[in-house]
Amino acid sequence: MKKFLLGLAVAVTLTTAVPLFAVILVVVVASPAAGEVIATQQCQGDPTTATGSWRVPTAQHYVITSGFGPRPSPGGIGSTYHEGVDIAMLPAPGSVLAAASGRVSVAGPYGGLGNAVVVDDGDGISTTYGHLARLDPTVRAGATVTMGQRLGAEGSTGNSTGDHLHFGVAQDGKYIDPVPFMRQHGAPLDGRAVPASAPSTATPPANHAPADPAGEGGIGFPLPLPGQPRRDSVHAPPLPIPPAVQADFERAATRYKIPWTLLAGIGMEETGQGRNEATSSAGAEGLMQFEPSTWARYGVDGDGDGRAVITDDADSAMSAANYLTAVGVTHGTDGVRRAIFAYNHATWYVNDVLFYAAAYGGGEVLGDPIDCGTGRGSGNPGLPPIATSRVGMVLTWAERHRGDGYVLGADGPHVWDCSSFSAAAYRRIGITMPRTAQGQQEWLAAGNGFRVAPRAAKPGDLVFFDSYLGPNVIRHVEIVLNPATHAAIGAQNPQVGVAMSDYAEDLRTRHIFQVWRVGNISG
């Protein structure tokens, strides 16, 4: 069990007036002299991210189809005053996300808006989300939502002539034009895709140990749409999924935090959802058609009987999820395609699986859409060490925020998740990292830092490990404070917030445990 260093657990620093960072900088000054500041190695396709307290209400590209103010009635007779803007997501209807954190005052049928959500965002501001096809189960009157949390799915309920989102902003009870309001709040409604801040799939399972780090919400991205060429899906429509097989897909998706529809796409392509599980000419077996050599490495127990059996449907579905995450399905949309291609080396196969996944409902992958590479390797050991003065600024900031709260997907100023906290600490010295823990590790491996042995850790290094989202994905990050005592600081979980911790147990027990040093970079 992870230990959190609270109160007198750090008596050496609490019995003096000297800040913790000043004590541990005695270790840092023994580092080699810092060289010149090197420009940051940028990742490919850096998207706009929501870094303030407001964001656009979708993660997709979109167009505004109707503006604020007088307009013809949607029914074609007379005119009406439109108390918001209509947003149509591209290329297809998608998830509706909370534009800001707040408390839900309405969740359900709401006059001409059909299925709607109204959120009291504080300071006299409320936001309205109308015409939803459905609301997420956790979104109900009285509930608290965070910026970027999924509220439901875009639809055409109520007085509507097609799929779209009605988005309204009210100030002191009076509706105002959302376009200038959102622009003034750093979230312009300009049609650009802005990755989700806290997908609903990020909720920890019920049996998740409360003292274990809850990881971070970070951002997510929708499954990519199929391209061309396609083969089987051109003439074979998606088949109904037997209830037992569906349960296997959902159980595996819950454990590995990927859309169950992706597993269903593979299940359809491979065996018609279990209707043809005969051994293939290549020797592949079971629901998800594993070759025995691949099964030997990735096969896992899916039904809790203590055995991983290649012909057991539950084990096969769970092992497919294990394999997909191991080969990088959470590494952006290109990572999804690469992971499916790794399953079967054919472009038509990738497009078939994505076609079927979309037909079963699509979904969001909890990961970072920024492409920083695979995260493999040791980075760039030739980088000059980060300057002592810069490390001090990072640790000073981190220490000042000890006691702040934890909310999955939050990004300050006094509430964080693990990766937003580490990113904010390094922004104090002009270094901009990706938003998720996995993205940060990949960014370091891409040339912005280098991996060090845990025994060689120094204050300011970043510790990464897997958490409740499965053994193949980095989902937690902390900042090393005192390597001699394995002390680190980070946004831990809702119970303790930003606190110090002892990472010794994680070093011994985690499937992934890595320590990385940021180079003396800028930008």
Q: Where are the alpha helices (DSSP H) in 465-514?
A: 504-509
The answer to whether residue 145 scores a pLDDT higher than 50 is: yes
Domain ranges for the chain: 3-49+379-522, 61-184, 220-366
Yes or no: say if 123 and 172 are a contact pair by the CB < 8 Å rule.
no
Condensed to tens digits (0 to 9), the pLDDT of residues 457-476 reads: 999 999 999 875 567 778 89
> How far apart, in Å, are the Cα atoms of 476 and each of 12, 213, 326?
27, 7, 17
57 and 129 in contact (C-beta within 8 Å)?
Answer: yes
Q: How far apart are CA 40 and CA 432, in angstroms?
A: 8
- What's the pLDDT at 511? 87
Query: What does the pLDDT average to over 262-272?
Result: 97
User: H helices of 98-242, where?
Assistant: 178-184, 232-235
Tell me how far apart the alpha carbons of residues 396 and 469 are, in angstroms, rounded to a whole number: 31
Residues in Cβ contact with 159 at an 8 Å cutoff, skipping those fewer than 6 apart: 74, 75, 112, 113, 114
Give the pLDDT score at 216.
46
Q: Is the pLDDT of residue 375 over 90?
A: no
At 433-452, the pLDDT tens digits run 888 888 899 899 988 999 99
Contact call for residues 53 and 185 (beta carbons, < 8 A): yes
The predicted pLDDT at position 366 comes to 74
Asked if 449 and 519 count as a contact pair (C-beta separation under 8 A), the reply is: yes
CATH fold group of domain 220-366: Lysozyme (1.10.530)
Structure confidence by residue, pLDDT tens digits, 149-201: 889 999 999 998 889 999 999 998 999 999 989 887 878 898 888 765 443 33
Q: What is the pLDDT of residues 308-363, one digit of tens each?
A: 999 999 999 999 999 998 898 988 888 899 999 999 999 999 999 999 999 998 88
Same-fold call for 3-49+379-522 versus 61-184: no
User: Which whole-number Å values give the CA distances from 341 to 324, 347, 367, 369, 380, in the listed order?
Assistant: 10, 7, 19, 18, 29
Question: In the predicted model, is pLDDT for residue 202 greater than 60?
Answer: no
Domain 61-184, CATH number (from 2.70.70.10, 1.25.10.10, 3.40.190.10, 3.40.80.10): 2.70.70.10
pLDDT in tens, 384-434: 888 899 999 999 999 999 999 987 777 778 888 898 899 999 988 988 888
Please give the average per-residue pLDDT across 262-290, as a whole number. Answer: 95
CATH of 3-49+379-522, one of 3.30.470.20, 3.30.70.990, 3.40.50.1100, 3.90.1720.10: 3.90.1720.10
Quick one: 143 exposed, middle or buried, by C-beta within 10 A (0-12, 13-18, 19+)?
Answer: middle
Of 521, 516, 522, residue with least CA distance to 383: 521
pLDDT tens digits, 477-509: 999 999 999 999 999 988 899 999 999 999 999
Q: Judging by DSSP bridges, how do beta strands 521-522 and 38-39 pair with one another?
A: parallel
At 100 the pLDDT is 87
pLDDT of res. 31: 34
The pairing of strands 79-82 and 115-122 is unpaired
pLDDT for residue 266: 98
Quote the CA–CA distance of 190 and 178 in Å, as a whole number. Answer: 12
- Cα 288 from Cα 301, distance rounded (Å): 14
Ranges 261-275, 288-302, 402-416: which has the least confidence? 402-416
Q: Which residues contact 281 (CB under 8 A, 6 or more apart)?
A: none
Q: Following CA atoms 430, 431, 433, 435 in sequence, which dihedral angle do they give, to the nearest 10 degrees?
A: -30
Mean pLDDT score across all residues of the chain? 83
Main-chain dihedrals φ then ψ at residue 398, nearest 5 degrees? -60, -45
* Tokens coding 280: 């293939």
> DSSP of 438-469, one letter per residue?
HHHHHHIIIIIEEEE-GGG--TT-EEEEE-TT
Closest CA relative to residue 201, chosen from 58, 364, 322? 364
Stated pTM of the model: 0.58
Which residues, 6+ apart, have CB-to-CB distance to 331 below 8 Å? Answer: 338, 367, 368, 371, 374, 375, 438, 442
Query: Residue 23: its pLDDT value, please?
Result: 39
